[in-house]
Structure 1
Amino acid sequence: MFTALFLFVSVTSISQSAVLQYDSRIINGEDVAPGEIPYQVSLQTQNFFHFCGGSILSEYYVITAAHCVAEKRLADMIIVAGTVSLIRSGVKRAIKQIISHKEYDPYNSYINDIALLKLLAPLKPSRDIGFVTLPKQDEIIQQGTAARVSGFGRISESSSGSNFLLKATVYITDQEYCKNIYNKILEYIYDTHICANDPNISRGSCKGDSGGPLIVNETLVGLVSWANGCSLTDYPTVHTRVSSYIDWIKKNAV
């Protein structure tokens, strides 16, 4: 089942019939305390339906997955910051501009899955709102490093989304293992991907968590992008490797 977190849906015929389902949620996660992950945002429709996650880069910019905002109209979306509950109102901001990576292709959304959202009005730092830290360009994260993923996504493949922000600990996967396991189902892993999961228990992102942060030592190392299934122990979740795009981010988030 492919989850683009959007989630990969079960496939009857592997590869060509595999369908990206962008929208994931945290499985086997824990509640996030107010202010614990102050850069986490919820991307929502104008009628307040959560569909993706993101992280606050600065007062005017949010970073997310390009597949979350591809072919969407500015007037149809808002971001909600400063809350760990979709039931309680957070700080809402309209979006002024969508800046997807120039080499992102919605028909090949597995790669260059990164976008910036320029906000119409600034987000002011507070206890509940803060800015995420970026890695250095091409910084390498070692295999086995503990990471944290968070989001408002599904708590199981068959459930509805969570109204509360959840977090889970996963581990950076060996890149060669990730390449080899996905090669079995004819999917390609690029150097601009970073994979993570828990090899012992189903834990991590699912449908609705797309675009949300993968964090190592309070640094944004990945954006939830896609996977075969939801938080499987054998197939890691694939994230956009943020360190591959630092120069692009700095050039465009101005």
Structure 2
Amino acid sequence: MRSPRVIATLALAAAAAVLPMVSAVAAEPPRQPLAKAATPTDLLKPEEGPTTKVVNGTRTTVKENPHLITGLRVGGGGPQGASCTASVVGKRKILTAAHCMIDVSGDKSYLYGDDDLNTTGDETFRTKVASYKVHPKYTGPNSWKNGYDVAVITTADDIPVPESQWAKVAGSGDSALTAPGKSGQAMGWGKVSAGGSSGVLYKTTMPVNDPANCQVFDVTVNGDTMVCVGYNDGRTGTCSGDSGGPYTVDGVVVGVVSWGAGNCDRYSIMARLTNEMGDWAKKEIGGDTPIPGKFAVGLNPNSGKVEPGKYVSTTVTSTAADTGAEDVQLSVSGLPSGANAVFQPDSIRSGETSKVTFTTAAETPKGVYKLTLSGKGTSGTATAEYTLTVGEGTPGGEIAASASPASVTVQRGMFAETTVTVNGGSGTISLKGSGQGMSFPPMFFPQTISPGGSSEMTAFAPFNPGTYPITITATDSNGKTATTTFTVTVQ
């Protein structure tokens, strides 16, 4: 029979074993409630409660990061309609988030070269979206919850970024770049807080985390398709307007800004590129690129002179790619008013030749025009330039601008659009618009054209009813100017 002393000793020992466990439970801090997940687009609305400053990054510039480009859309909530951030990855290729294309409405375009979108006129380039592809497993709006939030865009115009400065995209062979503990950089024109301002380019540095430690949202962080970066205390991160922007590690884009907390105060979630998603993106980026130095078109001679009402001809030459001959469809852009191009024939096999005749009308304005010949084949598109001189072609000859339609009537806060055409002049023609009472200067797509070319102009209508004339000014390379008026009536 055990003595009372032994029993008391065992009881004390048992109590000592239990006490530390009780103490540990009591000291555990209360868990944060799950954060409402949202895509950081311009439509992001903060959760109820105080606004938290989340970016806490540093100002940067496009000059320092020449691969960055701004996504705009009609109806976008940021300055000038800014909606998303993106990366230049090719001559006419942009990498962004799929939800930037699928989940929000409005015509989309891209602006390059502006560090602060709140001040207009700083940009060097604008272009429309010619086409885009989202990852095939991104099946519709809100698919970012499942991952695969990546898209590749083809632009209507060549982006003025040299190949050496295009963003490098990761693939399945780069998984080590997204290992927990790695550190990377995110950049974008997004908001500096959930309810704050946006439109200024910032950058911030954030670590890669184990996805198991990032389950703080009402949406599961899938480590197979997502990369969790940053911190859980709001010290820095991405927010509205940063969507689609790059997250780079060791100079390589390993993720695309996809989603985060509705109040922008917790981890930032990137679409993972260090897997088959990156392989898919790289394939799409290179899908429309001609084989360098192989498939090409040319003109012999590459210039000609003609009097108004007359015609001039030249020969189209072509070379085949290493993969062999292919069908090539020919076309010309940049023709002056009243002029047209006739091909004999308009479709050839690469390696063959064609004849093109430029005919002018008696009313075709005199001047020097830069024409672009395009040959579209199965492996891509190749171009060549032709200089057409009409009449004496004196540089800085007569220049005329027109808008069609010349006037529109729209509702308050809506967009008014017209096509601006400039005839005559010489060299590159730049376009500007101004109007008293307009909230923002008009946008041109593209901003510069050749003589005889056209540009689509979009103006944001004021919220006050009335009539607002917009003066459009065209200026050629020699400083010669022409103006026309576009009238917006707001109901």
TM interval, shorter chain, is 0.7 to 0.9
Amino acid at match of 1:32: T
Alpha-carbon distance in structure 2 between the residues aligned to 1:146 and 1:103: 28
Choose the corresponding residue for 1:96, options 117, 127, 130.
130
TM-score (norm 2): 0.44
Counterparts in 2 of 1:225 and 1:34: CA distance versus 1, 3 Å:
closer
Choose the corresponding residue for 2:72, options 44, 66, 78.
44
Give ranges in structure 1 of 5+ residues lacking alignment: 13-24
Amino acid at match of 1:210: S
**CA drift at 1:190:** 3.9
- Other-structure match for 2:244: 211
**CA drift at 1:8:** 6.9
Q: Deviations over 1:203-240 (max 9, x none)?
A: 121011100111111110111111124543xx411110
User: Which one has a larger percent strand, Structure 1 or Structure 2?
Assistant: 2
**CA drift at 1:139:** 2.1
Question: In terms of mean alpha carbon deviation, does 108-117 or 244-253 score higher?
Answer: 244-253
Counterparts in 2 of 1:228 and 1:50: CA distance versus 1, 3 Å:
same
**Aligned residues of 1:26 and 1:150 also touching (Cα < 8 A):** no
Which of structure 1's runs of 4+ aligned residues deviate more than 6 A?
A: none
- Other-structure match for 1:16: none
Amino acid at match of 1:170: M
Matched, 1:241 2:272: yes
Counterparts in 2 of 1:58 and 1:160: CA distance versus 1, 3 Å:
same
TM-score (norm 1): 0.82
**CA drift at 1:91:** 1.3
**CA drift at 1:10:** 2.3
Equivalent position SS for 1:153: coil
| Superposition CA RMSD, Å | 2.6
Alpha-carbon distance in structure 2 between the residues aligned to 1:174 and 1:70: 29
Alpha-carbon distance in structure 1 between the residues aligned to 2:205 and 2:229: 10
Matched, 1:181 2:213: no
Counterparts in 2 of 1:221 and 1:113: CA distance versus 1, 3 Å:
same
Amino acid at match of 2:269: V
- Other-structure match for 2:97: 65
**CA drift at 1:189:** 2.0
Counterparts in 2 of 1:100 and 1:215: CA distance versus 1, 3 Å:
same
- Other-structure match for 1:17: none
Matched, 1:135 2:170: yes
Equivalent position SS for 2:216: helix
Q: Deviations over 1:68-92 (max 9, x none)?
A: 111667x811111233222222311
Alpha-carbon distance in structure 2 between the residues aligned to 1:142 and 1:71: 30
Give ranges in structure 2 of 5+ residues lacking alignment: 1-35, 288-491
- Other-structure match for 2:111: 80
Amino acid at match of 2:109: I
Alpha-carbon distance in structure 1 between the residues aligned to 2:268 and 2:283: 28
Q: Deviations over 1:92-137 (max 9, x none)?
A: 111110111111022432211111110111113259x931011232
Q: Deviations over 1:40-66 (max 9, x none)?
A: 111002583100011011111101001
Amino acid at match of 1:219: V
**Aligned residues of 1:104 and 1:112 also touching (Cα < 8 A):** yes
Alpha-carbon distance in structure 1 between the residues aligned to 2:274 and 2:237: 21
Amino acid at match of 2:174: E
**Aligned residues of 1:41 and 1:54 also touching (Cα < 8 A):** yes
- Other-structure match for 1:15: none
Identity %: 23
Choose the corresponding residue for 1:157, options 194, 197, 214.
194
Alpha-carbon distance in structure 2 between the residues aligned to 1:208 and 1:33: 16
- Other-structure match for 1:146: 183
